[in-house]
Amino acid sequence: MRTQGTRTTGSTLVMCVLGALLLAQVFGCTDDGHDAGSPSRNASSSTATTPAADSSVAAATEAAVAAYNGYIQAFGQAAQTADPDDPNLSRYAADPLLSLTRHNLRTMKDRGQVQIGAQTATVTSTQADLASAQPAVTVHACLDYSSIKLVYASNRSPVPNSEIKDPRVSAIATVWLYQTGQWLVNDTKQGNDPC
């Protein structure tokens, strides 16, 4: 992400808001001590397509998509108060994404800015890999930021030059199964698919 001085531009706003969702590199990641548990190493080794395998993939995909959608919603709610300590974030995200999300929200808070409205995600496809050493589901989605605005928390006035120029962005998220049995989003990046 690029910033221009201390002023927030429209493209900078998009990247700031997307940063937590798309793992922007300018803020980097910090370790806040959160431990979602070690990733699960117990994966199904069956590669044959059976009804049991199909139902396992369907259940895993459903749980991973629920975690992804939960993360999108939790981030949107936390951004409306710029609350980096919102406990809902850790219900759906793990590091490094969780630390980056908290860092970006803390940056918004330090600048006295909050988000009005919330982004939405439309899942376009998924790919489950339950046979690998790290069970994962890759989620492809289109993110829509057209209903959000960045404002100052003190008086709700718009942050200058913060209009979002391209509100629809393709995203790819990796959701891992952890030993706790939770599916958590641990990585996101911008995709190349049209939205």
pLDDT at 52: 62
Please report, for the chain, the start and end positions of each structural domain, with discontinuous segments joined by +: 10-190
Least confident of 12-16, 48-52, 62-66, 190-194: 12-16
Q: 149-152 and 183-190 as β-strands: parallel, antiparallel, unpaired? A: unpaired
The pLDDT confidence band at residue 164, using thresholds 50, 70 and 90, is confident
pLDDT at 50: 54
Nearest one of 46, 119, 53, 50 to 80, comparing CA atoms: 119
pLDDT at 78 over 50: yes
Instruction: Compute the average pLDDT of residues 49-66.
Output: 85
Nearest one of 112, 120, 109 to 157, comparing CA atoms: 112
User: Can you tell me the distance from the alpha carbon of 195 to that of 193, in angstroms, rounded to the nearest whole number?
Assistant: 6
Tens of pLDDT along 110-159?
999 999 999 999 999 999 999 988 999 999 999 999 999 999 999 999 99
**Cβ neighbours around 27 below 10 Å, total:** 20
Own/partner contacts of 55-63, CB < 8 Å, gap of 24 or more, are 56/130, 57/128, 57/130, 60/128, 60/130, 60/135, 60/137, 60/177, 60/183, 61/126, 61/128, 61/137, 63/183
User: Can you tell me the distance from the alpha carbon of 105 to that of 30, in angstroms, rounded to the nearest whole number?
Assistant: 13
Tell me which residue has tokens 């994966």: 43
pLDDT at 184: 98
pLDDT at 144: 96
Instruction: Compute the average pLDDT of residues 6-19.
Output: 39
The pLDDT confidence band at residue 194, using thresholds 50, 70 and 90, is confident
Least confident of 11-15, 80-84, 104-108: 11-15
> Taking the model in full, what pTM does it have?
0.76
CA distances from 79 to 25, 50, 101, 113, 135 (A): 19, 43, 10, 9, 30
pLDDT at 102: 98
Tell me which residue has tokens 């259940």: 59
Q: Which fold has domain 10-190?
A: Nuclear Transport Factor 2; Chain: A, (3.10.450)
